[in-house]
Structure 1
């Protein structure tokens, strides 16, 4: 459990303004991409670059809000936890994959056999009793 002090609930008006500004910047970038889509004087690379700049600017603005700081903290803690993960070796991975493939083949053969038996019982035996 995390022992950090809990931050106050709610978003400040300054954070709401920053998030609104980030949304406006992002919307302006996307709108500009489609607005200049029919203009032959604006190359497609410039339109795409404009959207990338708008996304980066919106993310930068959003990063300085309380939710942005919480997200950055979460990402840094996640990265720290990922360093603790013990990944299997290549040999372990290949052995486990082989076992899974063998089990899948055996189960599919078993299911096919059950299907064939039920089909033969229903179609060949039960339906012919009525005739």
Structure 2
């Protein structure tokens, strides 16, 4: 290990940290189900505790810090989105419902015409 480059040693320790974080999550979930006879607050505490330990361990790895940076950037980008007003959302919803209604009537009519042509005119079943 002394002859390995620093990047390789760092990468392997990061993999170990991520594996430990996954084990902490699994331990929290197992603790949640293992404590099924205990009060809900204790069960939830085991689950949340496992998640918090996993986050703390993952944050010490380079992948964890990169993920946190990605999450922060995602939140920043979501804040840039121009969300429609209530009036615009209502109008768009009504347009969609209107289109669905028109398409339903069109498809029903097409089905009835094809049924008439096929069964009455061509096959003579009715």
Residue correspondence of structure 1 range 1-131 to structure 2 within 5 A: 12-37=11-36, 40=37, 42-128=38-124
Q: Distance in 2 between matches of 1:98 and 1:43?
A: 47
| Counterpart-to-counterpart distance in 1, 2:35 and 2:81 | 47
How far the C-alpha of 1:51 sits from its partner, in A, is 1.6
- Number of matched pairs: 117
- Separation of aligned partners in 1, 2:27 and 2:14: 20
Q: Which runs of 5+ in 1 are unaligned?
A: 1-7
In the alignment, the residues of structure 2 paired with residue 96 and residue 36 of structure 1 have an alpha-carbon distance, to the nearest angstrom, of 48
Change (3 A) 1:88 1:15: same
More helix by share: 2
Which consecutive segments of 4 or more residues in structure 1 shift more than 4 A? none
